Homo-oligomer: A and B are copies of this chain.
């Protein structure tokens, strides 16, 4: 089994590719719906298949705390537990330990923190994260890294970045199951030199990795910083492996990332926004709670091929569901938002292969006059 990227088309830095996993091939660019607690919120596995999801993401930190990786492993690993047949990726828990847990203490050994569920003292190390992910049984597991806060700099950032590399070496000592592989994560904070150093050292430490991730971005910094750091990080990564930018995004984020050579992304935004009545459209999105939609007979977006738009659910009906706090409002909006990003990935891929990437980008931003300009190329 090879996971390596077979490049089917390029246009500048933008790439269209294909890589194999033990659960089927993944075509890139590829957005991964997020199923933090072993469920993409409000969405059934059948919905995921029908909307064209290729690979989904689930989360080590949350599943380790509840129900525990042992339960999931005994109930058929994540695939059997969730009844999801396709490829699955698990985050390592690194990001959540740093963003969610209270009272964390970082030592060389690992991170001690208070469980957000019950306040109990917990400990995660690179080895524990790998063993948890091994039990969960996802096809792509992520190295356990330290995600520096936005303001971190100087010697503290230097040490944090170096620690992520030392932790990567320890992650590599844990043998995974035959259907699993690991992606290391490039860090380096908001410091160009440290980004370059981290990327080079990551590739040198784990040269056989089937893919590489760029972490520590889209965590609160300016977008121009995000994309400058992304560009620097990606430029040091091998061209024949998938590159995964963690934690984006919006439709325009996907364009900017692909334009810089990124193949994979994930974000809770499409489903979280959907539950708050915010849905994507080419002009920058709608808030369905807005009173102007009360009697609007149109679907969210004319011509959209998602279940919600195809079945003719109107903005007026969705407005009513969201105003009334009805679960179906979140379900139908989530289906739309996820399909929107998945379709955009299909369109980006087609455009790259057909040599129309620059035209596609122009058309995308022409339809969306309120979009921010490219964050680093203004």
Contact = CB atoms under 8 A, between A and B. Distances in A.
A317 B41 contact: no
Interface string A282-293: 000000000000
A9 interface: no
A75 B316 contact: yes
Contact of A326 (B37, B45, B71, B331): B37
A327 B67 contact: no
A44 interface: yes
Contacts of A312: 83
A45 B321 CA distance: 14
A234 to B, nearest CB: 34
A193 interface: no
Contacts of A297: 74-76
A164 interface: no
Contacts of A42: 327-328, 331
Interface string A61-88: 0000011000100111000011100000
A310 B43 CA distance: 17
Contacts of A317: 38, 75, 81-83
A297 B81 CA distance: 9
A173 interface: no
Nearest to A40: B328
A294 interface: yes
A75 to B, nearest CB: 5
A323 interface: yes
A270 interface: no
B46 A311 contact: yes
A50 to B, nearest CB: 10
Given A71-B316, A81-B314, A39 B321 contact: yes
Given A44-B328, A71-B295, A327-B330, 11 more contacts: A37-B320, A37-B321, A37-B324, A41-B327, A66-B324, A67-B294, A67-B323, A71-B316, A74-B295, A75-B297, A75-B314
B327 A81 contact: no
Interface string A342-374: 000000000000000000000000000000000
Contacts of A319: 67
Nearest to A63: B320
B328 A41 contact: yes
Contacts of A81: 314, 316-317, 320
A123 interface: no
A3 interface: no
A38 B327 CA distance: 12
27 contacts: A37-B320, A38-B317, A38-B320, A39-B321, A41-B326, A42-B331, A44-B328, A46-B311, A66-B320, A66-B323, A67-B294, A67-B320, A71-B294, A71-B295, A71-B320, A74-B295, A75-B297, A75-B317, A76-B297, A81-B316, A81-B317, A82-B317, A83-B312, A83-B313, A83-B317, A327-B327, A331-B331
A6 B305 CA distance: 42
Contacts of A320: 37-38, 66-67, 71, 81
The interface centre, meaning the residue of A41, A297, A327 with most chain B CB atoms within 10 A of its CB, is: A327
